[in-house]
Structure 1
Amino acid sequence: MPGETAASPVADRRPTPRTYHGDTVVDDYAWLADTEDPEVRAYLEAQNEYTAAATAGLEPLREAVFGEIKAHTQETDMSVPLRRGGFWYFARTVEGSQYPLQCRAPVRDAHDWTPPEVSAEKLPGESVMLDLNAEAEGHDFLSVGAAAVSPDGRLLAYSVDTSGDERFTLRIKDIETGSLLADTVEGVFYGVTWAPDSRHLFYVTVDDAWRPDRVWRHEIGSAAADVEVYREDDQRFGVGVGLTRSRRYLVISASSSLTSEARVLDAADPTGEFTVVRPREEGVEYHVEHAVLSGAGSGASGTDRSGEDYFLFLHNRSGINFELASAPVETPDAWTVLVPHRADVRLTDVEVFARRLVLEYRRDGLPRLAFAATDVQPEFSEWDPGEQLSTVALSGNPEWDAPRLRVGYESYLTPATILDLVPETGESAVLRRQPVPEYDPEGYVQERVWVTARDGERVPVSVVRAVATTGAAPTVLYGYGSYEVCLDPWFSAARLSLLDRGVVFAVAHVRGGGELGRRWYDDGKMLRKNHTFTDFVDVAADLVETGRASPDRLVAMGGSAGGLLVGAAMNLAPELFCGVVAQVPFVDPLTSILDPDLPLTVGEWEEWGNPLADAEVYRYMRDYSPYENVTARPYPALLVTTSLNDTRVLPTEPAKWVAKLLTHTTSGNQILLKTEMAAGHGGVSGRYSSWRETAFEYAWILDRLGRA
C-alpha cells in the first residue's frame, strides 16, 4: 500500500464494566465517548495524521479523480426556474464558489407557465435572495435547514448551521432591501412554515435528546415571546409542521416509527387552536392532505372543478402496504376507500392539486407515479417514464392550480431530468437534463439481477458498469438496509471515475429497506435484523460464485446504518472483502440504544427493539453489533470516516470500533480512521470540499481494487 507507516496510534485500554440482564461486558474504550476530553481529541487528531501519512502516496490519484469530477460537472450552472406566486425561483452555481446563490426573477406574463430558459445570462429583473458563500465566510462548515419565501413574496425565512450539529439559527430577510430583520431564533430544527398572512411563521425545536418535540409560532416584528403551539411528551414521537398545497390548512404531524397523528388548523386563523384529525392508534400510521373533490367522472382539464372539501388519508389501518381513503372535512372518521391495499404495491404518498391527484407508490422494487382527476372516485393511470430501471417522483410543484406538473426522473445512466407534464393529454417536454460534460451514456449498462438468500428470499441487486467491463471485475458493493429507506437508481457523475477504470458498482437492496414494500422492511428490523446482514453477505457470495467478482477485488461500502451493515458483514464473512469503507458508521448500536439520554435513542426502540426492557432484544443486538463482536480474525482493509459534531451517530462509535479492531485484526491490513473536526453527519459542506472527500474515498477504493 502506498504510504504505509510503521504503526497506527493505539488507544489506551481503560476497562469499564457494563451489566444488563445478568450479562457483564467490559468495554476497554468507553472513555472515547467524551469528545470534549483533550485526550480524546488528541487521539482523533493522531489518527487523522496517521491516515494522512498512510495515504500520502495516493495524492496523485486523488487529484486525478477530483479533476474528473470537475470535468464531468458544469460548474457555472442554473436550475430550472420554479414558479411561486409572481416570481420564478432558481439557484445558480458559479465556477470556483462552494455554495449556490438563491435567486428569483419576476413573472412577466401571469398566464405563461413556461419557465425561462436555463442560461448563464441574468434573467430580466433577476436578484439574489441569498448568497450562501457570504453566509459561509469565516466558517469551515455551512448547512441550510430552511429557506422559505413568505406568501406575499417580501420576506425570506432561512436557517443555517455552521458547526454540523444540526442546530440552526433562523433569520428573516427583507428580499427587496437585503436587510435582516431583528427577528432571530436560535436552536431551531429543520424547516419553517409561513402562514398565508405572511405575518406568522411556525418552526420546530428539539429536546436534549435531539427529538423534535415542540412547534412554535412567531409573529414578524413582534416583541412578544414566541408561542408554544404544541408539545409532544411521548419520547417515541417527533413533530413537524407544514401547510397544505391548497393553503387552506396548517398541519402538525406527530409520528413514531409505528404510529402517527395529525392536527389541523384553518390557515386563515393562524393564532387559533389546532384540532386532532384522527386520534393516534398504536401501530397505525396516516398522512393527511386537503383536496377539493368533484362528482365522479366530471371535470376534464379546463372545466369547472368546483367541489367539496375532503381530507385524503394515506394509511396502513387496513394493510401493511397502505391504502388511500377520503373523508369529508366535517366528518374525518367517515373514510371511503379510494385505492385499496395490495400485497404487491406499497403506496408511499399522495399529492393534491386543484385539477389532479398524484399517487406515488412502489411495485417490483421500483418507484411509480399515477395520475387522476380530482373526483370523489378517482381513476388513476400509471405514467411510463420510458426507462425501466429508473427513479420517478414529482419535482417542485408548490402551486395548487398550476396547469402542468413538474416530474423528475433519473437512472444509473440518465442524469437528473426535469419534465413539464400534462397528464390529461400526455403532453410533455424536457425542461432540463443535468449536463454532464465528457459523458456518453452509450458507454455504460445498468441491470437488475436477483440473488437467492440463504432462507430462499430473492434479493434485488442493481448493477452498473462500463460496456467494456466484463467477467470477474473489481466491484464496489453498496448497501443500507434500515428505516425502510430505498436505494433507488440515482445518477452520479463522481461514480464515473470508478466505472471508467473498470470497476463495477453494485447495490444490494437488502431487507430492512423498503424496496419491496413494508414486508421487506419488517423482515429486516427488530428481532429479524440479521436478515439485513446475511442478505448482504449472500449477495457478495453470489457475485463471487457466479464469476462476477472475486474476494481479492471486492470492496463493501455503506454509511450510517449502512456502516452498521458493512461492519456486521465484515464480522460474518471477512474473507469475502478486500476492503470496507464505513462512513459515519453506526457500529456500536447496543451501547447507544441502551442509553435513553443519548440523541434519538428512545425513538429508535421501534426500529431496533428496547434492550433495556427486553433481555431477548439485548442478547440479539449484542450478537450482531459490529463493536461487540470484534474478535481475532483476518479483517479486510478498512477506511472509516466520521465527524466530530455528528449528533446522529456519535464519533465515539467509529473511534471505539477502530481502536478495538487495531488490537484484534490478524491480517495486518490497513485500518484507517478519518475524523472531520468541523462537520456533522453529512460530512463536509461545500461542493468542492465534498468532491475532494469523495476523491479521497475513491482513491483508497481504487488502490484496494488494484486500479490505482
Structure 2
Amino acid sequence: MNKDIRKAPLAAIKPHEITAHNHTRIDNYFWLNDREDQEVIDYLNAENAYYEAETAHTKAFQKDLFEEMKSRIKEDDSSVPYFYNGYYYITRFEKGKDYPIYSRKLGSLEADEEIMFDCNEMAEGHSYFHLRGINVTEDNQWAAFAVDTVSRREYVLHIKNLTTGEILPLSIEKTTGSSTWASDNKTLFYSRKDEVTLRADKIFKHKLGTAATEDVLVYYEEDETFDTHIYKEKSRKYLVIGNDSTLTSECRILEADNPDGEFRIFQTREREVEYTISHYGEYFYIMTNLDDADNFKLMKCPTDKTTFEHWEEVIAHREDVLLEGVDIFRDYLVISERSNGLPHLCIMPWNAPENAYYLPFESETYNAYTGINVDFDTEILRYGYQSLKTPSSIVDFNMRTQEKTVRKEQEVIGDFDKENYIEERIWATAKDGVQVPMSLIYKKDLQKDGNNPFLLYAYGSYGYSMEPYFSTTRLSLIDRGFVYAIAHVRGGEDMGRQWYEDGKLLTKWNTFDDFIACSEHVIAQGYTSPKHLYAEGGSAGGMLMGVIVNKRPDLYNGVIAQVPFVDVMTTMLDDTIPLTTGEYDEWGNPNEKEYYDYMLSYSPIDNVVAQQYPNMYISTGLHDSQVQYWEPAKWVAKLRVTKTNHNQLYLDTNMDAGHGGASGRFESLKEVAKEFAFMLDLEGINA
C-alpha cells in the first residue's frame, strides 16, 4: 500500500491563543470549530476522500464483512411481548427493513395487531432517523413520541391518537424525547434542552387540544451542572421530577391524578448525596449514598414525610457489595447488586424478608439484569442473561415457585456453537498494585504463542460498568483468530463505587495506567504481542485511546478511537459547548488551577509529541452533540504534522450522523465493517 504521507490532507495552521492561569496554549486548528464554514467542510471531505482512497483495496472485503455480520442476524425478529395496562406490547423487525415496528395487542397475543409506529415508513426521506420515548395514556388512547432526524439528540415531540391513527398538528422542538402523562389522560409533562448547551434544564406541561405556545413551564433547573427529567412511578401514583449532577441528586413529587398541583421537594439536594426513589404502598423506598454509604443502601420513608430525618434503613451499606438498583412488585422486592465484578439478583418477599434468595449464575464471567417489569401486580420477574459466548436470553422467573421459563434466546443464524469458544476472566496488576479484571473470549484451539491478533476494549468513565455481553458481529474477528477482551479499568463501577472514585478527577490517571497494565499483561501471558495488539474505545473511551498512544505507542499495532473526547482542555474551558458544565464533577473544573494542571497532564491533543504512533482509525459525526466533531478533526490534524512515522492515520467523518453513528438496524454494521477491515488488513487477513 502506498504510505506516501504527502497524499494526506493537511489542515491550515491558524494559531489561536488560549490562556488560563497565566499559561498560554497555542491551538493551530481552533478554526475547525465551525461546522457552517465551508473551509471546515472541505477539510472534512478531503479527509474522507483520503480515507476512501487509501482503503479502496479493502472495499470488497468490507462488503463481505457487512454481509457476513448481517447474515447472522435474524431479520424478521421480534421482542418478547410484555403486558401493561391491558395490552401486550411488541417491537418487531421485518426482513429487508432497517427500522423497528412498534405494535400492541389487546388482552391476548391472539388478538389483532395494532401498529402504533412503523419507523420504516417514518424514516423515508431522512438520512438519519431515531424514534424514542413512546408513552401511552392510562386510557390507552394517546401516545406521545419523539423523533430525531439530525442525530444531535434534539427530539421533536409529537402526539398520536391511537384510536384514529391521527398525528396531531403539534411539534414541540428541542426536547430530550422523554415525556410522561398524568392520570387524567390529557396532561403531558416533558423535558426540554437549552438551545446552546443542550442541557436538559426545563420541565413543561402540555394540555391536549392546546398549542405548544400555551405550554406551562413547571420547573427550571438553574444550576448549570444539573440536568432534569420527569417520569411516573411504576405504581402510577406519583409524578417525579429528577434533578441530577454527577455527584448530587434531588427529586420533586406530585400525585399523578393532580397534574395542576404544585410539585414538592422530596429532600433538598445536598452536595455529594445521591438518591433515587420508588413508591410502594404507604412508603417511598430510597436508594442512596447518604452518610458515606459509598456502595449505596436502601432506605424507606412514609409518603407524607420524605426528608432525611424520616428515612429508615432497609438494606444496610456493605463494603464489598454495590447496590445498583431495585425493582418493586406487590409481593416482592428484587435487588440488583454487584460484587467481585459480577452482577447478582436477589429476591426478597415483603412478608418474609428472611427468606430472600439469589438467582444462581455459575459462569466465570457474565451479565445478568432485570428486564422490562412494568406490571406491579405480578409474581413474574423478567430478567436477561448473556455472556461473551452465550447469546442473550430473556427469562420469566416465578418468584414464588422459583420456576423459570426462557421466553427467548437470541438466535444466531448459521453454524454458531458456543462450545467452540472459551471465555475467561483474568487479572492484571496495575501500576499501584491493584488487580484489574479482564473478560476474554477466543476460539478454543488458540495457542498462547504471542502471535494472536488481540483487540482490547475499555471505557472507564462516569461509573459505567462494561458488561461482558454477547455480540454476533464480534464473531467475525474471533473466527479469524482474534482474541477479544474488555478491560474493566477504574473509572467504571465494575468493582464497586470506589472503583469509580479511583478513576476520576485527580485519580484519572489510574484509568489510563490500568489499560496499559492490561495490555502489558496479555502480552506477558503470550496471548499476543505488540505487533498484533489493537486497542479500541469510544467517546470518553476515545480519550483513553488518545492517552495511551501518547504514553505507550510501542504497545499497539493499531488503535480505533470512536467519537473521541481528546481536546479536554479547550472543551472544558468553554462552558458554551454542550454538556461541559455538567462534566466538572467527572473531570474537574479547569478554572481551578489544580484541576487545570492535572487535566493538562493527560489531555490527548495537548500531549501529542514527535514520536512513532500506531496505525489509527478515528471516526466522528458532524452533528455529534456529546463530543463535537472538531475534537478528533483537530487531533488528526496535529498528529499528521507531528508523528515521525508513516503508519496509517485516518479520519472518517459521517456527515449525516452524530454521537451514536448511523441509524438503522444494519447501516451501523457498515461502520463496524470499516473498523474490522482496518485491523484485519493490518494483519494481512483479507478474507
* Residue equivalent to 1:310: 283
> Take 2:130 and 2:530, find their aligned partners in 1: how far apart are those partners?
39
Equivalences, count: 678
CA displacement 1:647-676 (0-9 Å, x = unmatched): 110000000000000001112101000000
* Residue equivalent to 1:64: 64
Task: Please report how far the alpha carbon of residue 374 of structure 1 lies from its aligned counterpart in structure 2 after TM superposition.
Answer: 2.6
Between 540-549 and 178-187, the greater mean CA deviation after superposition: 178-187
Query: Is residue 671 of structure 2 the alignment partner of residue 693 of structure 1?
Result: yes
Give the one of 138, 148, 172 matched to 1:161. 148
> Take 2:353 and 2:432, find their aligned partners in 1: how far apart are those partners?
42
Q: Is the 8 A contact 1:199 1:219 kept in 2?
A: yes
Task: Please report how far the alpha carbon of residue 404 of structure 1 lies from its aligned counterpart in structure 2 after TM superposition.
Answer: 1.2
Query: Is residue 201 of structure 2 the alignment partner of residue 222 of structure 1?
Result: no
> Take 2:175 and 2:607, find their aligned partners in 1: how far apart are those partners?
38
> Take 1:197 and 1:428, find their aligned partners in 2: how far apart are those partners?
37
After TM superposition, the structure 1 = structure 2 runs for residues 542-621 of structure 1, keeping only pairs within 5 Å, are 542-612=521-591, 614-621=592-599
Computed over aligned residues only, the root mean square deviation of the Cα atoms, in angstroms, reads: 1.4
Task: Please report how far the alpha carbon of residue 469 of structure 1 lies from its aligned counterpart in structure 2 after TM superposition.
Answer: 2.1
> Take 2:19 and 2:453, find their aligned partners in 1: how far apart are those partners?
44
Q: Is the 8 A contact 2:425 2:439 kept in 1?
A: yes
> Take 1:547 and 1:2, find their aligned partners in 2: how far apart are those partners?
32
> Take 1:640 and 1:569, find their aligned partners in 2: how far apart are those partners?
14
Query: Is residue 521 of structure 2 the alignment partner of residue 533 of structure 1?
Result: no
Q: Is the 8 A contact 2:203 2:220 kept in 1?
A: yes
What residue identity is the alignment partner of 1:235? E
Task: Please report how far the alpha carbon of residue 32 of structure 1 lies from its aligned counterpart in structure 2 after TM superposition.
Answer: 0.7
Task: Please report how far the alpha carbon of residue 366 of structure 1 lies from its aligned counterpart in structure 2 after TM superposition.
Answer: 1.5
* Residue equivalent to 1:298: none
CA displacement 1:576-608 (0-9 Å, x = unmatched): 000000000001111100111111111101101
* Residue equivalent to 2:226: 237
* Residue equivalent to 1:111: none
After TM superposition, the structure 1 = structure 2 runs for residues 34-183 of structure 1, keeping only pairs within 5 Å, are 34-108=34-108, 116=109, 124-183=111-170
* Residue equivalent to 2:656: 678
* Residue equivalent to 1:119: none
CA displacement 1:458-478 (0-9 Å, x = unmatched): 001110111122212110010
* Residue equivalent to 1:703: 681
What residue identity is the alignment partner of 1:548? Y
Task: Please report how far the alpha carbon of residue 543 of structure 1 lies from its aligned counterpart in structure 2 after TM superposition.
Answer: 1.1
* Residue equivalent to 1:445: 422
Give the one of 264, 280, 284 matched to 1:275. 264
Give the one of 325, 328, 344 matched to 2:299. 325
* Residue equivalent to 1:335: 311
Query: Is residue 626 of structure 2 the alignment partner of residue 648 of structure 1?
Result: yes
> Take 1:540 and 1:144, find their aligned partners in 2: how far apart are those partners?
39
What residue identity is the alignment partner of 2:582? G
What residue identity is the alignment partner of 2:221? E
Unaligned runs of 5+ in 2: none
Task: Please report how far the alpha carbon of residue 253 of structure 1 lies from its aligned counterpart in structure 2 after TM superposition.
Answer: 0.6
Q: Is the 8 A contact 1:238 1:254 kept in 2?
A: yes
Q: Is the 8 A contact 2:248 2:269 kept in 1?
A: yes
Q: Residues 167 and 253 from structure 1, CA distance in 2 versus in 1: closer, same or farther, beyond 3 angstroms?
A: same
Between 487-496 and 180-189, the greater mean CA deviation after superposition: 180-189
Task: Please report how far the alpha carbon of residue 375 of structure 1 lies from its aligned counterpart in structure 2 after TM superposition.
Answer: 4.5
Q: Is the 8 A contact 1:5 1:54 kept in 2?
A: no
Q: Is the 8 A contact 1:18 1:27 kept in 2?
A: yes
Task: Please report how far the alpha carbon of residue 259 of structure 1 lies from its aligned counterpart in structure 2 after TM superposition.
Answer: 0.7
Q: Is the 8 A contact 1:291 1:312 kept in 2?
A: yes
Task: Please report how far the alpha carbon of residue 702 of structure 1 lies from its aligned counterpart in structure 2 after TM superposition.
Answer: 1.2
TM-score in terms of structure 1 length = 0.94
What residue identity is the alignment partner of 1:323? K
Query: Is residue 324 of structure 2 the alignment partner of residue 348 of structure 1?
Result: yes
Task: Please report how far the alpha carbon of residue 184 of structure 1 lies from its aligned counterpart in structure 2 after TM superposition.
Answer: 2.5
Q: Is the 8 A contact 1:2 1:55 kept in 2?
A: no
TM-score in terms of structure 2 length = 0.97
* Residue equivalent to 1:13: 13
* Residue equivalent to 1:433: 409
> Take 1:2 and 1:343, find their aligned partners in 2: how far apart are those partners?
56
* Residue equivalent to 2:399: 423
> Take 2:366 and 2:526, find their aligned partners in 1: how far apart are those partners?
26
> Take 1:425 and 1:72, find their aligned partners in 2: how far apart are those partners?
36
SS at match of 1:78: coil
> Take 2:285 and 2:355, find their aligned partners in 1: how far apart are those partners?
15
Task: Please report how far the alpha carbon of residue 154 of structure 1 lies from its aligned counterpart in structure 2 after TM superposition.
Answer: 1.2
CA displacement 1:297-349 (0-9 Å, x = unmatched): xxxxxxxxxxxx10111000131111101111122231211111111111111
What residue identity is the alignment partner of 1:352? I
Q: Is the 8 A contact 2:35 2:41 kept in 1?
A: yes
Q: Is the 8 A contact 1:310 1:328 kept in 2?
A: yes
Q: Is the 8 A contact 1:2 1:57 kept in 2?
A: no
Query: Is residue 28 of structure 2 the alignment partner of residue 28 of structure 1?
Result: yes
Q: Is the 8 A contact 2:382 2:396 kept in 1?
A: yes
Task: Please report how far the alpha carbon of residue 289 of structure 1 lies from its aligned counterpart in structure 2 after TM superposition.
Answer: 0.8
SS at match of 1:639: strand
> Take 2:304 and 2:260, find their aligned partners in 1: how far apart are those partners?
21
Query: Is residue 637 of structure 2 the alignment partner of residue 659 of structure 1?
Result: yes
Query: Is residue 185 of structure 2 the alignment partner of residue 209 of structure 1?
Result: no
* Residue equivalent to 1:366: 342
Q: Is the 8 A contact 1:3 1:55 kept in 2?
A: no
Q: Residues 182 and 95 from structure 1, CA distance in 2 versus in 1: closer, same or farther, beyond 3 angstroms?
A: same
Task: Please report how far the alpha carbon of residue 386 of structure 1 lies from its aligned counterpart in structure 2 after TM superposition.
Answer: 4.2
> Take 1:692 and 1:583, find their aligned partners in 2: how far apart are those partners?
14
> Take 1:380 and 1:54, find their aligned partners in 2: how far apart are those partners?
60
* Residue equivalent to 1:497: 476
> Take 1:418 and 1:580, find their aligned partners in 2: how far apart are those partners?
34
* Residue equivalent to 2:607: 629
> Take 2:7 and 2:360, find their aligned partners in 1: how far apart are those partners?
56
* Residue equivalent to 2:180: 193
Q: Is the 8 A contact 2:4 2:646 kept in 1?
A: no
> Take 1:480 and 1:609, find their aligned partners in 2: how far apart are those partners?
18
Q: Residues 515 and 563 from structure 1, CA distance in 2 versus in 1: closer, same or farther, beyond 3 angstroms?
A: same
* Residue equivalent to 1:301: none
SS at match of 1:592: helix
Q: Is the 8 A contact 1:69 1:494 kept in 2?
A: yes
Task: Please report how far the alpha carbon of residue 177 of structure 1 lies from its aligned counterpart in structure 2 after TM superposition.
Answer: 2.1
Task: Please report how far the alpha carbon of residue 403 of structure 1 lies from its aligned counterpart in structure 2 after TM superposition.
Answer: 3.2
SS at match of 1:697: helix
Q: Residues 375 and 327 from structure 1, CA distance in 2 versus in 1: closer, same or farther, beyond 3 angstroms?
A: farther
Give the one of 485, 493, 500 matched to 1:521. 500
Q: Is the 8 A contact 1:360 1:393 kept in 2?
A: yes
SS at match of 2:254: strand
What residue identity is the alignment partner of 1:214? K
Between 418-427 and 46-55, the greater mean CA deviation after superposition: 418-427
SS at match of 2:666: helix
* Residue equivalent to 1:506: 485
> Take 1:496 and 1:667, find their aligned partners in 2: how far apart are those partners?
32
CA displacement 1:347-379 (0-9 Å, x = unmatched): 111121212111111111122111112349676
Task: Please report how far the alpha carbon of residue 4 of structure 1 lies from its aligned counterpart in structure 2 after TM superposition.
Answer: 7.4
Identical residues among aligned pairs (%): 41
> Take 2:593 and 2:314, find their aligned partners in 1: how far apart are those partners?
43
> Take 1:685 and 1:419, find their aligned partners in 2: how far apart are those partners?
29
> Take 2:242 and 2:17, find their aligned partners in 1: how far apart are those partners?
41
What residue identity is the alignment partner of 1:155? W
> Take 2:153 and 2:571, find their aligned partners in 1: how far apart are those partners?
19
Task: Please report how far the alpha carbon of residue 383 of structure 1 lies from its aligned counterpart in structure 2 after TM superposition.
Answer: 1.4
What residue identity is the alignment partner of 1:658? V
Q: Residues 3 and 190 from structure 1, CA distance in 2 versus in 1: closer, same or farther, beyond 3 angstroms?
A: farther
What residue identity is the alignment partner of 1:64? D
Q: Residues 464 and 456 from structure 1, CA distance in 2 versus in 1: closer, same or farther, beyond 3 angstroms?
A: same
Q: Is the 8 A contact 1:555 1:705 kept in 2?
A: no
